[in-house]
Structure 1
């Protein structure tokens, strides 16, 4: 073999090695409780895998096909598994050229997609998808741009709108809220507006960025994750403390205020809220706001949440929920990058514990879980927008 051919072959080998995903050896290091296993359902090696760029929120259609928003490629994709072997066959584009898409939800056969400026809808006709059509328009953009949309058990649509800032007084009332709409796309907020005033869509307020939400399968109560403010201190004029404020899981109720920007979660037992000493509200304001039902380590960024009643996991898990901690970006000691189990007793959350860890190694994160969703096969699917992977977590009894 000539020297030139040897050189070309060596270069090719080096290029191929360089193209190996950073997670190639990482999945095997993810730690789960006994009996569980995690596998790659889809990644760059899947047919059309380059379209799975920045996978975020997930939803299943009536046939059990998984749909994922891919925010970095501005599209929504479908990941069919026709032979039900636990591995996606290919990645199929459903909609493209979207505007920071994140949340997706089915209402019948219609797929709703939450862009940063509103919700659009697409339908499947003769095997192909229609172009996106406006459904809910004029939502605030910028700041926390990514929005989620889900259909609640009450038949209404819920959409989060994050704050425009870290800590501030908003000029736009829709900011830092969860909104509610009818399935026809009409505002249906907490308060019914009479007379000449337009109906408000605002359902709950004081939520800095609540991207993930789900409903308890027995009580129907709505639970939403929430990300606390950055660069705060627990003393007036004090240094930034990485351990405040905590991240939250809130029980969302109509018309309630959850504290941002003036308060953050205190004691669950007493239902207290703690006032930000550097951004105080009116006297007694924090006492009127709702405390979280569960708190997490500061800046770990909880996002997706799913109840486990539809899994084929052990019965001890099926009353509980799993949520994804996307991980910190500004802590001196990185934290998060894992899945947490929220335990429920008598249909109320009682404690949290680690469920899946290993995306953080040697203070470096090779993956960042975003959303969790239960499939028709009883497994839990997990999206990762850093490693560009969809994982499948299953349980195998002895």
Structure 2
């Protein structure tokens, strides 16, 4: 009877535990001198990362419906506390920290947790910022961030693989922190799940996912730069700057739309991107863009499943090279990078929604 009770207890623990994937750091390949370690392997469906003023790492999720707070109380590069701040939300992918408050995207709604770093053990109730966003879940998960202008930037993805919904979808919008003053910023963007502002210029750069069902090699995902409000980047009429859509391209010219700064590759699923401004990495990384590529789902041979470095010379691309590979081997993926987030010490966090983990990348020659 005693043995049976122990077995039952073990079973209860097994079924109560969250279903995280397996982490295989030994399979990851980084340039010489770079090192990667697990920051936390208890972040189910880890998606966008945001940093608090007191060092808290906030992480959104997709199917898990949760928002996490990770704290490294020992300052040893590992989160020893993982708290769930909110649960039961619809695709709370996006998290953005602003003046002590944590903003959370949940498809048609954006919520806020006030003064969150002072209430990690007893989170306040969610306050509604807006419920005026589209409710479609196809490309309805939203990466969000506050810009240098103090406004919250929110993308509205196309609710389809490819369709023409006018200016209601496929765009980036911005609003005041209280949800008022909504304004369209850019159009022709199928689905951006990562953007950042370049230091000094305050120019917005963003990734965009190319449409599916045009074959293995077209169209490419894009890295784009916004030069003025109202700019149009082509979707659904033109893809990757030079490919007219077979269904919606008739009567249009790609010359009428802004081409990408860089073609990232077809179906790589480019998501989170940030400028690296730290000093821990070698000098050549200063000002470079780090891009998390989630990986293809509908290509005969997988692409993506990596973190890439885009070095710039002015507004031109100087190089496009891997920082982390090895999440996929022999057409089998164990990890899928989602977001990249530099830390104040110059290291970089990388979220992985398949393994349910957040990694920390450091450099020591």
- Fold match, TM over 0.5? yes
Q: 32, 39, 53: which one pairs with 2:44?
A: 53
Shift of 1:22: 5.3
Asked whether the 8 Å contact 2:328–2:335 carries over to 1, the reply is yes
Residue of structure 1 equivalent to 2:40: 42
Residue of structure 2 equivalent to 1:310: 278
1:303-382 equivalences under 5 Å are: 303-346=271-314, 348-382=316-350
Q: Distance in 2 between matches of 1:244 and 1:279?
A: 16
Larger radius of gyration: 1
| More displaced 10-residue stretch of structure 1: 131-140 or 307-316 | 307-316
Asked whether the 8 Å contact 2:278–2:345 carries over to 1, the reply is no
Asked whether the 8 Å contact 1:104–1:113 carries over to 2, the reply is yes
User: TM-score, normalised to structure 2's length?
Assistant: 0.90
Shift of 1:219: 1.6
Q: Distance in 2 between matches of 1:312 and 1:329?
A: 34
| More displaced 10-residue stretch of structure 1: 137-146 or 362-371 | 137-146
Rate the CA distance shift 1:170–1:300 in 2: closer, same or farther, 3 A. Answer: same
Residue of structure 1 equivalent to 2:111: 120
RMSD across aligned positions (CA):
2.4
Secondary structure of the corresponding residue to residue 390 of structure 1: strand
Q: 136, 152, 157: which one pairs with 2:147?
A: 152
Residue of structure 2 equivalent to 1:248: 222
Q: Distance in 1 between matches of 2:231 and 2:62?
A: 31
Q: 165, 177, 183: which one pairs with 2:160?
A: 165
Q: 3, 25, 37: which one pairs with 1:27?
A: 25
Q: Which has the higher contact order (CA 8 A, sep 6+)?
A: 2
Residue of structure 2 equivalent to 1:130: 124
Does structure 1 residue 78 correspond to structure 2 residue 46? Answer: no
Shift of 1:309: 0.6
Residue of structure 2 equivalent to 1:192: none
Shift of 1:348: 4.0
Secondary structure of the corresponding residue to residue 285 of structure 2: coil
Shift of 1:156: 1.8
Q: Distance in 2 between matches of 1:40 and 1:66?
A: 14
Asked whether the 8 Å contact 1:311–1:380 carries over to 2, the reply is no
Q: Distance in 1 between matches of 2:335 and 2:185?
A: 33
Shift of 1:355: 1.2
Asked whether the 8 Å contact 1:228–1:299 carries over to 2, the reply is yes
Structure 2, unaligned runs of 5 or more: none
Q: Distance in 2 between matches of 1:208 and 1:249?
A: 12
Structure 1, unaligned runs of 5 or more: 44-48, 189-200, 233-240, 267-272
Asked whether the 8 Å contact 1:174–1:202 carries over to 2, the reply is no
Shift of 1:123: 1.2
Secondary structure of the corresponding residue to residue 283 of structure 2: coil
Q: Distance in 2 between matches of 1:228 and 1:216?
A: 23
For residues 341-395 of structure 1, what are the alpha-carbon distances to aligned partners after superposition, in whole Å with 9 as ceiling and x for unaligned?
A: 0011135433311111000111111100000001122210000000101000001
Residue of structure 2 equivalent to 1:261: 236
Q: Distance in 2 between matches of 1:383 and 1:121?
A: 22
Q: Distance in 2 between matches of 1:123 and 1:302?
A: 31
Q: Distance in 1 between matches of 2:19 and 2:149?
A: 46
Aligned positions, number: 353
Q: 198, 201, 209: which one pairs with 2:191?
A: 209
Does structure 1 residue 225 correspond to structure 2 residue 216? Answer: no
